[in-house]
Amino acid sequence: MNELVQAQLSAITEVLHAAKTLGIEIWLRGGWAMDFYLGQVTRDHEDIDWFVWQKDLPGISGLLISRDWVDLARHPLDQQRDLFRDGVELGFAPLARTDCGDVVVGGGPFMGEPWPKNMIVNSLFGELEGIRCPIISPESQIEIKRMMPVWVPGFRRRDKDILDIARLESALHRPQ
């Protein structure tokens, strides 16, 4: 396992401990969520993507900043927080709920737009290298990876997303 993967797994563990310390919910999303679902590292990852409730975004980012993570300040504070330390980047996107309980985008220009149904399943965990982590559902991972070029004009379909979709679909259709 290369050094960056080891550093990213260590950062995942640190974020999980920070969330536990704060008593907040957090979910891994993106490529690392896929790898935790599959139980293996499938490819290199540029960053580690998370979902967190909008009300908890200042707390988790503030705690990590107090632990020498640097805020990259790429987005408005309510839209996403990107942190960096020792070659590892973390991205925290906020979630909110509607009055009906549906999960929606929690900030930024798409605030209030719905995320896939059943994206957040509180009992869904992935495991990798002895780390157990809450993840978004693989079905929602597929939908997000398919729909981002539709939802966000100018977002191009990436080769890694096409491969990730194929890996997740294969795992979902594998006999248990």
- Under 8 Å between Cβ of 51 and 93: yes
User: For the residues 76-85, what does the mean pLDDT come to?
Assistant: 93
- The answer to pTM > 0.85 is yes
**Closest by CA position to 136, among listed 152, 155, 149, 117:** 117
pLDDT tens-place string over residues 110-151: 999 999 999 998 789 999 999 999 999 999 999 998 888 777
Delimit the domains of the chain by residue range: 3-137
Pairing relation of β-strands 48-53 and 88-97? parallel
Percent of the chain clearing pLDDT 90 (strictly above)? 81
59 touches 24 (CB < 8 A): yes
Residue 116: partners with Cβ closer than 8 Å, 6 or more residues away? 137, 139, 140, 143, 144
Yes or no: is domain 3-137 CATH 3.30.460.40?
yes
**Token pair in block for residue 166:** 């194929």
